Every structure is written in structure tokens, then in C-alpha cells.
Chain A
Amino acid sequence: MSSAVPAVVVAELRKDYGPVQAVRGVSFTIDTGTCFGLLGPNGAGKTTTVEILEGLLPPTSGEVRVLGRRWGRDDREIRERLGVCLQQTVLSEKLEVGETLSLFRAFYREGRPPEEVIAEVGLSEKRRARVGTLSGGQKQRLAVACALVGDPELLFLDEPTTGLDPQSRRQVWDLVRRFKDRGRTVLLTTHYMDEAEKLCDQLAVIDHGQFIAEGSPAELIRSLGGDHVIEVAVEEGETPPPPDELAGLPAVRSVHRDALRLTLSVTEPHVALPALLARLDSAGRSLASLSTRHASLEDVFVSLTGRHLRDE
């Protein structure tokens, strides 16, 4: 592994399906040893982008380099060093866990002993179990194990935790962290903000096939202007005060309103709160709820697009 060459370089990537522009000119670089996250709602173009990087889809235009090589010329060389976990792959139900991993191991020139990978993903007790009998979380860990058994330098995970219970999600996160701790590179797509915050060094927020923000999770949150968020809702039948009226309050950096709810990005909650309450009071509005929390990437997404990530 040479750290001089970035693991992935993408320039002006486009993908059209007929008249539909799924990816509209994205560019990014993933440095070796880091975890890069593509964050966006369903249909934003995440999977299309990843499948182009995996060599499974041809791009309409643009430049893609994976591990310093190009698809269409060095396919086998790239595949030998690449681990892939597609969105919702169903592995053969009739095979046992150990048999499945041995099959995938056999495709690679070099790799890790299947037993070792099974232990790493915590499926040692299920080694002789048929894949069809595994739970959703176990199947997903097996899918990750299939990606790891070729001992890849670069790992592509497409929504690795969608539909999993919290405990299974944390187990998958641990696997990703351990992989990264060995100096390897990860590209992951997700529509979970907490996942992106916990795992990724660099993030790109993608919407309608375009990057709308890029940076580290902390940078993106800071771009809101404040690390904290105050959410207030007024009683039904009342209208919250217009956002620009509140934007001038002390320590408030931005205000977002939908229906009865106001979301304020603030730098110092203890300064902003009293002023906010006083303003609501003088305007004659009564509070239905109030909460404060640390800002998350969800807030970044809402402030960028006006929509929540999970909205369809």
C-alpha cells in the first residue's frame, strides 16, 4: 500500500439512464486509510455511484480511478484488492456459513483464512449453520465477511446497516472500525446520520445526483453555525413566529421552520434560550415542547435541503 496514491479518485462522474440523470457530475478523492461516507436519501445516486466505482456499471462520462487503476483495463487486478458488500445481497440459503466463506475465499489469489474472518464477524458458533437460518444481522455480518475474506485494501459497503436492529448495527460498525484500524480504506453509503458521524472521516452529502456539501462530520456540523440545536413547537392552532424574526437573537446562527416546529442552530444554548423564550412570550405564543441537543448531520441535511433524510 502506498499512501502516495489515493485509494479512489473520481472526477466529473456522470451516469444517465435515458433521460434520467442519476449522477450529475461528482468529484471526490478518498485517501488511503480513511473512511469516506456518501450520505443521502433514497434515490440520491449513492448506489449508482458506488456500483460505478465497483466496476459493475459503466459511467456515462467522467474519470474513475480505483487503487490507481482503471476499470476496463485492470479489472481483475482491482477485484483482487477490492471487497464489496452490495445493498441487499441474498447469499445462497442452502450453504453453510463456513462453506459460503470458503467459496468466496476461493475466488481470490490471496486472502485470509475463512475461520479467522468468521471469528472476526462473531459467527464462529454459526459456522455450520445454513445461511437460510441466520437472522438479518447475522446475514449482514456474513455479507461483510464475504467482502473481507479476500483481504482487500479497499472496502465498499452500500448501506451496510439498513434494516438492522441497533445491536447488529453496532456490530457492523465495529467491523468497519477494525478494518480501518489496519490502515485500510472504506467507502460507505448510508442514510443514517449517526452512522456517518461515528464511522466517517470525510463525508459528502449527495442529493439528486449532486454533492451539496463535503467535509468531515465536525466541519459539516460547524457549517450550521452552531454545535447545538434548540427545537421548539407551539400549541396547535398557533403559528410560530417567522424565522427571520428569531435569527437576530443572541447566539442563534440559523432558524428553520416546518409547520408548528422551529429548529434553531445556536452556539451557546444558555444565551439563546432565555432570549427565545422571552420573544415567544411577548408574541403571545404558548410552548407545546422544547428540547436542546447537540447538532447532528441530520440538521445539516435539513438545513441544506429543507427535507429530512428519511423522507421519501
Chain B
Amino acid sequence: MSDRSRVRAFVALCTSRLREYYREPEVLFWGFVFPLLLSAALAVAFRERPPEPSRVAVITGPGAASVMDAFERAPLVEGALSSAAAAGRDLRMARVDLVVVPPPTADDVVEYRHDPSRPEAGIARSRVDDALQRAAGRQDVLAARDVQTGDPGGRYVDFLVPGLVGLNLMSAGMWGVGFVLVDMRIKKLLRRLLATPMRASDFLAAQMATRVAFTIFEVVVLLGFGHLALGVPVRGGVLAILVVSVLGGLTFAGLGLLVASRARRIETVTGLMNVVMLPMFIASGVFFSVDRFPAAVQPLLRALPLTALNEALRAVTLEGASLWSQGPHLLLLAAWGIVCFGVGLRLFRWS
């Protein structure tokens, strides 16, 4: 067969796949709208806020007025007078962070009631104690100066968006290749194509090539949204980010091919996909860092392809790291991709 007609067949396969893709509304929803909504929702939930004042109940009594007076000068303490019973209830319901029982006379002790397992309680105690001690005449012996930072790049949303890009590349790659192949096998479309002079390798290459095209599109949309709407910094070169993404997209397309290589039922491939994707969804550092897991399982988690992809994406995007510095991650990804693709091809059945 001449090269020209092979190119024609390859282009026709790619075009058909692209058409099927953008004519599938569900694909657009799960591929784009859903990750955008998710990152927007999480960005709102974890948005930057001014420090929250501590909510403090002051039990009414002889010393309450001077306590409230001291709180007037403490901007981060919000005091309210309350009966002992009501204050106890509010404390249990976490409506207040701390209850102050004022000293009836200047010689008595002030009592702080709080639940030490709540992080707010400790903060409230420090602030209240500080305000009351100053009001009682304490002098600071060491001079201090505050320097406030709020670096973009250190926020949760900055951590999250590259993780969501990685997650999206995984699920889109696996579904986009694996599910489609099984669907075509069930409909006997694979068999029908095999009955033409089409080359099997051209067909699979077209699947991979279209996946690369979708990957670039998906990354540009998701990171673009993160950058423009959520202020996520993009410090790395666009080319480096795309190289990492395309490698990740191909790796998961290979994993999708492997998962889909034998399945003859949609239920089978769906189950296999979930078995493969769910552990990575949780443990590959999409929503929180891999460092949070026990040290013993870390080597295992770091060997997962999505972990490598997420770490490389974060380093390149947030820190502007070079591709070279991400070599180990990229090699790991490539190894996963090559092995899965090779084994998948070996096992692949057309009908």
C-alpha cells in the first residue's frame, strides 16, 4: 500500500474519532464542565479569608464588665455576655470557642473553659489571655515585628488545580480509549474495520494521536481557567507543561488500552477502570499531598503513574521547574505507558 493512502486512512480515522468526541455531550461535561465546577467549588470552599476573630462567651457577674472592656481593645476577640448555662451549651455546640468566667474580685483567678481538641480553642485562649493580661498591666519584654505574606502558589487552590488536571488526564485517557474500544468491540465495529484493508496499527495510532489532541485541549482549558479565574500561577513554560501533560495523556491511554484489551462487556471494563483509578484518585496526591500517608507506603504511592504526573505537573506549573529536573517522574510515566501499551497490544482482541 502506498504511503499516501495510509496517511489518508490515518487522517480519516483521526477525523472520525474527533467528530465522535465532540458530538458526545457527556464527554464534554465530564471532561470540562465537571472539573471546572469542581475546582471553582473547592476554590470557594478554601478561599483566602482574613483571620477569623475568636468567639468568646463571658459569664455575667461582678468582673464581666472589665473583661468586656479589655476585649474592646483586642480586635481578634469577639466577646458576648452570657449566662453560665447558655455559655456551656454554646461551647458544646461549638458556637463559641471559649468561655471566660471572670474573677469576682481582682484577687481571684480568671477561668477559661474550652475543648483543647478544637484548634480554635487554643487560639482563642491565647488571644483572650493576652488581652486580659495586658489590661491587667503586663508589659511585653521582647519587641516583635509582623511581616505578612500571602504568596500565590501556596494556597490550597494552587495545589489543587494541577492535581485536577492530572486527574482529568487519567480519567479522560482511560475512558476515552478503554471505554471506546470495548464499545466498538461489543458493536462488532472493530471486527468490521478489520475486514477492510485498514491496518490495525494505524487504527490504534489514530486512537493515541486523537488522545494527544484532546489532552492538549483539556490542559489548556483547565489550567487556563485556573490561571485566569482562580489566580493559580503558571510559572513554567507552556511547552514544558504540555510535554508533561501529553506524556501523561499517552500513559493513561496505554493503561486504558490494557484495561480494555480483553473485555467483552461494558460492566467488565467499567469495573476494571474503577479498580485501577480509585486508588490513584485517593492516594496520588490529587486532593492532598502524598506526604500525608505513612512513610511505609510512600514508595508504593510514588511509583503510581498519577503520583508521578501530579508531582511533575505541580513542579513545572507552580515552581517553573525544568523538564530535566522532572526526569525521574517522566521516566516513570513513560515506563508505565510503554509497558501497558505493549502488554495491551499483545492481549488485544478484535472481537
Contact = CB atoms under 8 A, between A and B. Distances in A.
A56 B194 CA distance: 8
Contacts, number: 73
Contacts of B240: none
Contact of A79 (B2, B15, B16, B196): B196
Interface string A73-89: 00010011010101011
A92 B189 contact: yes
Contacts of A88: 188
Contact of B191 (A76, A86, A108): A86
A56 B351 contact: yes
B243 interface: no
Nearest to B21: A94
B346 interface: no
B1 A76 contact: yes
A94 B24 CA distance: 8
Given A89-B189, A94-B23, A95-B19, A54 B195 contact: yes
Contacts of A92: 16, 20, 189
A56 B189 CA distance: 13
A109 B195 CA distance: 15
Nearest to A87: B188
B20 A95 contact: yes
B351 to A, nearest CB: 7
Contacts of B2: 109
Nearest to B12: A106
Nearest to A76: B197
B189 A108 contact: no
Given A95-B20, A109-B2, A84 B189 contact: no
Interface stretch (B3-11, B112-120, B227-235, B321-329): B3-11
A104 B188 contact: no
B282 interface: no
B86 interface: no
Interface in B10-55: 11-13, 15-16, 19-20, 23-24
Contacts of B188: 86, 88-90
A79 B191 CA distance: 13
A83 to B, nearest CB: 9
Interface residues of A, number: 27
B187 A89 contact: yes
Contacts of A90: 187-189
B195 A99 contact: no
Contacts of B213: none
B350 to A, nearest CB: 8
State the main secondary structure of chain B at its contact with A.
helix
A108 B20 contact: no
A304 interface: no
B221 interface: no
A301 B23 CA distance: 48
Contact of B12 (A54, A91, A103): A103
B18 to A, nearest CB: 11
A106 B188 CA distance: 19
Task: Give the bracket for the number of chain B residues in contact with chain A.
Answer: 20 to 34
A150 interface: yes
B198 interface: yes
Nearest to B195: A84
Interface string A91-107: 11011000100111011
A57 to B, nearest CB: 9
Nearest to B192: A89
B197 to A, nearest CB: 4
A106 B195 contact: no
A280 B188 CA distance: 54
Contacts of B9: 106-107
B11 A106 contact: yes
A103 B16 contact: yes
Contacts of A109: 1-2, 5, 197
B138 to A, nearest CB: 75
Nearest to A156: B195
Interface string B193-206: 11111100000000
Query: Which one of A55, A84, A107 has the highest number of Cβ atoms from chain B below 10 Å of its Cβ?
Result: A107
A271 to B, nearest CB: 52
A99 B187 CA distance: 18
Given A56-B191, A89-B188, A90-B189, A107 B198 contact: yes
Given A90-B189, A106-B11, 9 more contacts: A56-B194, A79-B196, A84-B196, A86-B188, A86-B195, A90-B187, A92-B20, A94-B24, A106-B5
Interface of A: 54-56, 76, 79-80, 82, 84, 86, 88-92, 94-95, 99, 102-104, 106-109, 130, 146, 150
Interface of B: 1-2, 5, 8-9, 11-13, 15-16, 19-20, 23-24, 187-189, 191-198, 351
8 contacts: A56-B191, A89-B191, A95-B19, A102-B12, A103-B16, A106-B9, A107-B198, A146-B192
